[in-house]
Chains A and B, each alone.
Chain A
Amino acid sequence: MDEEILTEEALILNDIRSHLTTFEKERGNLIPILQMIQEKHAYIPREAIKLVAEYLEIPVCEVYGVATFYNQFRFHPPGKYPIKVCLGTACHVRSGDIILENFERKLEIKEGETTPDREFSIERVACVGCCALAPVAIVGETVHGHMAPSKVEGLLLRIRIEKEKQEREKLTISGNN
């Protein structure tokens, strides 16, 4: 597993390197560059911090300081199905924290962590602006509104079934070939 991550990281770093040059070497571009990395790769690898510092010719500790300051940046690869539980005020009033607890209990990880099989990760987010649907959980890009403790298990089950279905389809397709 570790080795897999390492080779993966090497590829990511090459990709980052090739995209860095599209940015001018200005300090003001530090956050946009980190955002580019986060967006393309869903996390910022350790070595990327150094890469960015070298590119912008600023101390690496300052890049690290900036990257850790903002909520947007992650330093570990997320799960295939990143779960974000909204804990905005409207969601809290409607017990978003209890939804989060239920996800944590079901997946046996804490927020900010990824399951050992790298399938799921849980994150808490500040208001996503869907207060009308509170409480809200977001899996991947899909917003699930009006969550309730009783719906957590069903949601996870649905994802697992969906995944299994896809895999079977893949098998069938490759079987047909």
Chain B
Amino acid sequence: MPGLVPAYLKELVMKIEIEVVDIHFWILHILFTLGIIGGLLYKVSTILQGGLQEFGDEKQVSRWHKFWYFVGKFFKNFFSKKFIPIIKVLIFDVILHSKLFKENKLKWLAHTCLFWGILVLFILSVLSGIAVEVAPALGYKPGVSEFMDGLANKDNWVTAVLNELLNVVILIGVIIAFIRGFISKKKIGMMLFQDIFLIIFIIVILISGWFTEATRYIVENTPGYIAKVGFLGYYLSRLMRFSFPQATVDGWIVVYKVFWHVHVSVIWLSFVYIPFSKFAHAIFSPIATVINVLEKKKYG
């Protein structure tokens, strides 16, 4: 009976609920950030168990020593004649994946959709996070910068279209990767348990994201001309409202919170899982590619 609840009370309840969401967000954020850092440190420590030289005998060399050796080597190489080759490798091998493009266009398309989709979406989310959480804490007032306000406002048409398009791009990448994985006779590359697990993570993130967006439109009663910019979420919200005409605003708030928590938790879980999954290459392969190209002792 929403009509019986005074408006001021309803607002207060919603404010408290949003604050609860905020607290949950920060708890999850801190916990999972610690998880990611821990996982990465663990991986780096595992890698540093290896020797420095192929024929060297460095059993006495500690991991710390090796770590600083590699940090020193990095700076020595980066600020040297190798600077231009390093940039070239980063552009062609790491960012554009030119080698993969030459070898297999479909594989390249799937990889590019996933790589760029996830990377740009991640950057966009970080920037939005800064605009929503960090900038106001530093004294930023809305209206000063259109760019900051756009990032902070999920319904800003540029932010909404970008988010929506990037989700679609990732979905295309997932579909191609999944089909290739199942069709391929050589399932060895793709169809490991961890890889399927990770693709499931991505699918859950995408779907829960759309449902979160759709329920937000319902809860906030976003006007159609604004919500339409986030096209998939908008039509999903209409479908949901049409399917459950009896549902109350309070009910939709609960649904929204469930989807939001699922969405955020799976995102952070997948980040924690990255160092132990196929996606570990996203972190390690750019470093490895640069080292391998610069130090490759092949003469062909």
Do A and B originate from a single complex? no
On B, residues with C-beta under 8 Å from A are none
Interface residues of A (CB under 8 A from B): none
